[in-house]
Each structure stands twice: as C-alpha cells, then as structure tokens.
C-alpha cells in the first residue's frame, strides 16, 4: 500500500478530506465500515480501481467483495461496447434494495461510462439512489466527494475532462502481490472511428519516466515479479514530455532497473510500432517476447474507414520483422467483426490475415455502435445474425492455430513465472516470457518465483516439468 506522506504529490487537500472522512466514519461506526469496488472494462480500469481502493482505505474503509454488507459501493464502468454498459445498469439497479436495508449506504458510479453526459444524466434522473457520478479525470478527488455526501447529503456530479497534468502518488491498494500494473500514459488521440475511448478518457498524456521508474522500483523492492505497463497506445509514449524519450527508450530504462522481474506492456498500435521498438524487445532480457498488436481488420478498405493509419501489408511486415528478430515471439490481437460497410469479402481478408500471422490467441468483438463516434452514423446493412456467423467462423479459424502455436514449444525449456495453483491437485500454473501458460507439478512455495520448466506435452494445454 502506497500511503500519502509529506513528500508525496497527492494533493494535500485530498489528504485532509480523507482524514476528515475517517473521523466522521469512526464516530458513526463501531468498526471500520466496508467498501465494495466493482470493476468493468480493461486493465486501465482495474488499475484505477486499485487507486479507488487505496483512497477508500485512507478514508477509513476496509474492502469487501460482498455488496450486500457494504457501506459504500462504487461501480467503475466501461463504455467500450453496448454489452459492457447494459451490465452496469443492471448492477447499479440492484443497489436500490440494499439501500432499503441500510439507509446510510453510499452508491457511486464512475469511469468511462459515467464520463458520457447522456449517461450521467440518466443516472441523475432515473437512479435517485445513486449518490455520486464522476468521470475518469477527477478520480483522485474521491475523498472530497465522500466528504461532501457525508456532510451535506447532496449528490455529487463531476465530469470535468480538462486534460490537465497527471496527479501522481494517489494512494494505491493493489489486487495482487506478484503481478502489478503501471500506467505510463493516459487517454488517446487516435480517434478510431468506432471507438469511444478518446471521448471518455481525454487527450493523451504521458507520465514522466522518473515517476514511472519510481513506482516500478517500489514494486520490485516489494517483491513484484511482473510489471504490466499500461496505455491505450504505449507506442506513442513520450509525446508532449520535455524529456527526450519514446517507448523504446523507456523500456531500456526499465530494463536497467535492478532486480529479477518481467516487463509486459499493452496496447501497441501498429501505426506507431517501430523497428527501434522491435530491436529493443529483442535486446532487453526483462522484456516479454510477445506483442499484443491489435489489427482490427484485414481489409485495407475497412482499415481506412476505421481511421487506423496502416494497411495489412504494413501490419504483416511488422509481424515478419518481429518474427525474424525476436526468438520464440508470439502475437495476440483484437479484431472487430461487422464494422459498418464490411462485406463478407472484407471479412475473408481478416480471416486470411489471422492464418498468415498465426496468433497465440485473439480477442474478437462484434462491432457495437457507440453514440458520438463517426462510425455510429455510417450505413450498416449487415444483420446482427450474419455478423454472428462471421464471428463464429473466425473463432473456428483461430482454434487450431492457437493449439498449433502452443505445440511448437514442446521440447523446449523456458523460464516461467509461477503464478498460482492449477486446477489439478499438486500442479502449478505459470507463464513464459512469450505468454504461454504451462502447468507443472511442484510445491506451492514456488508461487511468485521464476522456475525453469521443460515443456513436454499438450493435453488441454501445455504440461511440463521443473528442471
């Protein structure tokens, strides 16, 4: 737990609000009250929730996973697809009955969905039991918002998205002790025509390398073995900073931090993926030998309409360069099926690209219109049912490829980060630097350590044994 101290950059007024909230709660509760943080969406949101938990802890709350017994429930939401949003409305609606049992319960909605004005209005007008709605860039003011609700009983609405400087040193309560997230940049400037993220996360802002390195050193000292660097487009890291830096240079600096740990990162945008980056991955021993490089569509016509700024040829040349330079490299990707105007012929180009690259695994999505994005008003003549068929077809194309890729590693020895117990008794589960999961028999004490594992066979996944 990173706790605010005199030297930290977390605003002093927020520390003061947190102390006042804690005093009030101590008077009204016999024991520390409980807070339940419910998270939707990507790793960026999971990391934001770790900061929410940190702030709640400094305000005097302990955490619980059971909303029924909580005194504070917060939904950290995602707006990327319609399905994500529907789940939130259902979950928030369920808190109405908890409020009947506990009239002092505070309910909050924050994150990407709350950042959209129409959604915030909906919570304001149709969900009177929601006490606060706030957006992605004012997250650090949570202690202030709780103080306001406790002392004035008024509802809080705060959606400002002014893209000001990044607030550092927000108290953080991390979910795990082996793997941890470190955001290196916030927001996105790319405006892919289907995507809501730039509207709800604001403009791209990079953290200084000094702050990033400080956080990583603290984590490595605390025993973390895997650092996942986060950003919507990590490859454009450094834009707008005064220092002479880009993502490849940042990776080299992190690689030079003393200690035994693995560096992962996501997401890379193909338009900003450079030869320098591929060389850096090949040369830095702590950097994963894996690229999550979303290509979205294999059709150049559709890529143009998506505003992605690359074509399938450029994408394949990046993949081939990485295959050539980085031994045992693996790839994963995001794909959208059924973008407005996409024909079956376009879809076939996507399936062809999947075959050519041979991804380890894929994250595939059916296109979901997002109000306010350019694609939402593009003509879309293909039925949901038809798109569903293409989607299933794509999964069928990928399935044997994923297995074939995994089998390629049989007979090789890899350094594996032991992550957890496997389902089978006596077995452990770990991941290699290139992102393959392998099970092997071993003592639980090995969890959180690197081990050399010989990969021996494929039986519903890779199995190996300790060297």
Nearest distance from C-beta of residue 233 to ligand SF4, angstroms: 5
Return the residues of window 55-114 that contact ligand F3S according to CB under 6 A: 78-80, 112
Using CA atoms of 329, 459, 363, 304 in order, give the dihedral in degrees to the nearest 10: 50
CB-wise, 34 or 387, nearer to ligand SAH? 387
Q: Is there binding between residue 239 and ligand SAH (CB under 6 A)?
A: no
Q: Of these, 132, 192, 251, 318, which contacts ligand SF4 (CB under 6 A)?
A: 192
Cα separation, 37 vs 61, in Å, equals: 11
Return the residues of window 171-190 that contact ligand SF4 according to CB under 6 A: 188, 190
Cα separation, 188 vs 202, in Å, equals: 7
CB-wise, 197 or 438, nearer to ligand SF4? 197
Output phi, psi for 301, to 5 deg: -65, -45
Structure tokens at 6: 């005199």
Q: Of these, 44, 47, 332, 364, which contacts ligand F3S (CB under 6 A)?
A: 44
CA-CA distances (angstroms) from residue 119 to 89, 92, 191?
10, 13, 20
Q: Is there binding between residue 45 and ligand F3S (CB under 6 A)?
A: yes
Q: Is there binding between residue 273 and ligand F3S (CB under 6 A)?
A: no
| Residues 276-315: x where in contact with ligand SAH by CB under 6 A, - otherwise, as a string | ------------------x-x-------------------
Query: Alpha helix locations (H) across 29-70?
Result: 43-58
Cα separation, 327 vs 412, in Å, equals: 12
Q: Where are the beta strands (DSSP E) in 10-115?
A: 34-39, 62-63, 72-77, 106-111
Q: Of these, 24, 32, 46, 198, which contacts ligand SF4 (CB under 6 A)?
A: 198
Q: Where are the beta strands (DSSP E) in 160-241?
A: 179-183, 185-186, 205-206, 226-230
Q: Is there binding between residue 209 and ligand SF4 (CB under 6 A)?
A: no
DSSP state of 177: S
Binding site partner of 331, from ligand F3S, ligand SAH, ligand SF4, none, Cβ cut-off 5-8 A by kind? none
Q: Which residues bind ligand SAH (CB under 6 A)?
A: 80-81, 194-195, 197, 232-233, 267, 269, 294, 296, 334, 336, 365, 367-368, 370
Q: Which residues bind ligand F3S (CB under 6 A)?
A: 41-42, 44-45, 78-80, 112, 196-197, 200-201
């Amino acid at each position: 737990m990173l706790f605010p101290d005199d030297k930290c950059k977390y605003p002093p007024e927020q520390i003061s609000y947190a102390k006042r909230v804690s005093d009030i709660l101590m008077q009204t509760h016999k024991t520390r009250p409980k807070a339940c943080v419910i998270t939707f969406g990507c790793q960026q949101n999971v990391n934001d929730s770790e900061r929410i938990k940190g702030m709640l802890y400094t305000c005097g709350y302990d955490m619980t996973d059971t909303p029924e017994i909580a005194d504070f429930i917060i939904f950290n939401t995602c707006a990327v697809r319609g399905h994500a949003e529907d789940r939130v409305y259902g979950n928030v609606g369920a808190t109405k009955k908890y409020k009947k049992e506990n009239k002092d319960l505070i309910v909050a909605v924050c994150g990407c969905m709350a950042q959209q004005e129409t959604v915030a209005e909906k919570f304001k007008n149709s969900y009177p039991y929601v006490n606060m709605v706030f957006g992605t860039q004012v997250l650090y003011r949570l202690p202030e918002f709780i103080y306001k609700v406790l002392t004035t009983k008024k509802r809080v609405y705060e959606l400002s998205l002014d893209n000001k400087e990044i607030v550092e040193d927000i108290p953080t309560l991390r979910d795990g002790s082996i793997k941890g997230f470190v955001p290196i940049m916030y927001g996105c400037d790319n405006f892919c025509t289907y995507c809501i993220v730039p509207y709800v996360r604001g403009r791209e802002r990079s953290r200084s390398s000094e702050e990033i390195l400080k956080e990583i050193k603290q984590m490595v000292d605390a025993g973390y073995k895997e650092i996942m660097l986060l950003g919507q487009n990590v490859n454009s890291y450094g834009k707008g900073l005064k220092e002479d830096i880009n993502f490849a240079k940042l990776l080299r600096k992190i690689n030079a931090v003393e200690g035994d740990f693995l560096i992962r990162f996501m997401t890379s945008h193909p338009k900003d993926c450079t030869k320098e980056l591929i060389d850096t991955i090949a040369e830095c021993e702590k950097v994963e030998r894996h690229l999550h490089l979303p290509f979205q569509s294999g059709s150049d016509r559709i890529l143009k309409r998506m505003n992605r700024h690359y074509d399938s040829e450029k994408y394949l040349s990046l993949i081939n360069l990485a295959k050539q330079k980085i031994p045992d490299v693996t790839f994963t990707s995001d794909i959208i099926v059924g973008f407005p105007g996409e024909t079956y012929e376009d879809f076939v180009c996507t399936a062809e690209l999947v075959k050519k690259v041979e991804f380890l695994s894929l994250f595939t999505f059916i296109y979901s219109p997002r109000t306010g994005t350019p694609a939402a008003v593009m003509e879309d003549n293909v039925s949901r049912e038809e798109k569903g068929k293409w989607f299933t077809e794509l999964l069928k194309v990928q399935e044997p490829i994923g297995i074939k890729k995994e089998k390629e590693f049989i007979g090789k020895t890899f350094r594996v980060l032991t992550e957890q117990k496997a389902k089978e008794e006596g077995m452990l589960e770990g991941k290699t630097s290139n992102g393959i999961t392998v099970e092997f028999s071993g003592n639980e004490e090995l969890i959180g350590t690197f081990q050399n594992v010989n990969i021996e066979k494929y039986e519903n996944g890779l199995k190996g044994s300790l060297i």
